[in-house]
Amino acid sequence: MTQRTPRVVAARKLLRRAGRDRAGRFLVEGAQAVREALEWSGAGSGRVHELFVTDAAATRHPELVSAAQAAGARLSPVPEPVAESLSDTVTPQGLVAVCDLLDVPLATALSNGPELVAVCADIADPGNAGTVIRVADAAGADAVLLAGETVDPHNGKAVRASTGSVFHLPLARDRDAGAVLDACRAAGLTLLVADGHGELDLHDPAADAVLARPVAWIFGGEAHGVPATVAERAHHRVRVPIHGRAESLNLATAAAVCLYASVAARRRRSPSAAAVGEPSPTGP
């Protein structure tokens, strides 16, 4: 098999978003990500269509080769140069799987009474988007929504940054950020924007009344934050207090702090302790 083999040519097109969207497939590279993809496929959530593997990688990871065969994926042995052509990393691992796209419609992602959702609004850096997905997964979030001009979660760097979490929870994307917010409101979620100048202090005991409710946390890119047109539609702007001299927190750290604050608030408050007088999540 060479770089001109039709299946390799088709797979290389998946390195670009347009190619992924057109084919409905994406590439997953590396042992950990391929392992997660095969488990996802085994659970019936999607399909791994093909596994490109070098001889060295097959020797290192025979269990993945066996799992791919058991999953019905086409096994395609390739030389190192072909594996490198399918990779966007400096040190390819020699394992590249072709998988169905992961994202689902907004209504599907929010269909099961979500209590904790992360919304990525105009996050352009794939590493940041992937890390937010990883954090949301760790915090037990019910879904991650990618709104506006947020990077494609199937981008290779985003998949690697998620360390496999893209396979663990529903992902939905919509270029219409307003539609994402409307869907969250319709699902009964209070919209919270992480904002360094927000009116609600994350550590104020009074914030528990808000944080313990079903919420959608909205995070923006590091350079410009949450777009103003999105932030103005939130129920609350929540700030993470800076007690030292740091100018701010990076996106991944802020997301972790905020999402885990909601988890902690829910554990501190029983369902019957819902706050009285808080604005309705479906209100203005």
224: its two tokens: 């410009």
CB 69 within 8 A of CB 51: no
**Residue found under tokens 């029983």:** 270
Under the banding of pLDDT at 50, 70 and 90, the label for residue 268 is confident
pLDDT at position 230 is: 94
pLDDT at position 271 is: 56
- Domain assignment of residue 229, given as a range: 106-273
CB atoms within 10 A of CB 155: 22
28: its two tokens: 């997953």
Domain boundary among 62, 79, 100: 100
CB atoms within 10 A of CB 5: 13
Closest CA to 216 of 103, 110, 102: 110
* CA distance linking residue 255 with residue 237, whole number of Å: 14
**Residue 276 pLDDT > 70, yes or no?**
no
Stronger pLDDT, 52 or 268, i.e. the higher one: 52
Where do the DSSP E strands lie in 106-159? 116-121, 143-147
**Residue 274 pLDDT > 80, yes or no?**
no
Closest CA to 95 of 66, 55, 45: 55
Mean pLDDT over the full length of the chain: 92
pLDDT at position 249 is: 86
Any idea what the CATH number is for the domain that residue 118 is in?
Answer: 3.40.1280.10
Together in a domain, 175 and 218:
yes
* CA distance linking residue 208 with residue 204, whole number of Å: 8
pLDDT at position 273 is: 44
Together in a domain, 264 and 193:
yes
- CA gyration radius for the chain? 20
**Residue 66 pLDDT > 70, yes or no?**
yes
Model confidence pLDDT, tens digit, residues 69-120? 999 999 999 999 999 999 988 889 999 999 999 999 999 999 999 999 999 9
**Residue 22 pLDDT > 50, yes or no?**
yes
Together in a domain, 161 and 203:
yes
Average pLDDT of the segment spanning 182-188? 97
* CA distance linking residue 172 with residue 217, whole number of Å: 15
pLDDT at position 225 is: 84
* CA distance linking residue 279 with residue 128, whole number of Å: 31
Together in a domain, 118 and 95:
no
Least confident of 164-173, 174-183, 193-202: 193-202
Together in a domain, 70 and 116:
no
Predicted TM-score (pTM) of the model is: 0.90
Average pLDDT of the segment spanning 11-25? 97
Domain count, the chain: 2
Together in a domain, 162 and 262:
yes
Average pLDDT of the segment spanning 55-64? 97
Together in a domain, 134 and 267:
yes
Model confidence pLDDT, tens digit, residues 145-177? 999 999 999 999 999 999 999 999 999 999 999
Any idea what the CATH number is for the domain that residue 39 is in?
Answer: 3.30.1330.30
Together in a domain, 95 and 117:
no
Average pLDDT of the segment spanning 241-264? 91
User: Three-class SS of residue 178?
Assistant: helix
**Residue 280 pLDDT > 60, yes or no?**
no
CB atoms within 10 A of CB 209: 16
Domain boundary among 100, 118, 150: 100
**Residue 277 pLDDT > 80, yes or no?**
no
Contacts of 273 (CB under 8 A, 6+ apart): 212
pLDDT at position 197 is: 81
**Residue 275 pLDDT > 90, yes or no?**
no
Together in a domain, 14 and 137:
no
Average pLDDT of the segment spanning 170-197? 95
Percent of the chain with pLDDT over 90: 81
Contacts of 16 (CB under 8 A, 6+ apart): none
Residue 278 lies in a domain: no
Together in a domain, 65 and 144:
no
pLDDT at position 5 is: 93
Task: Read off the amino acid at residue 211.
Answer: L
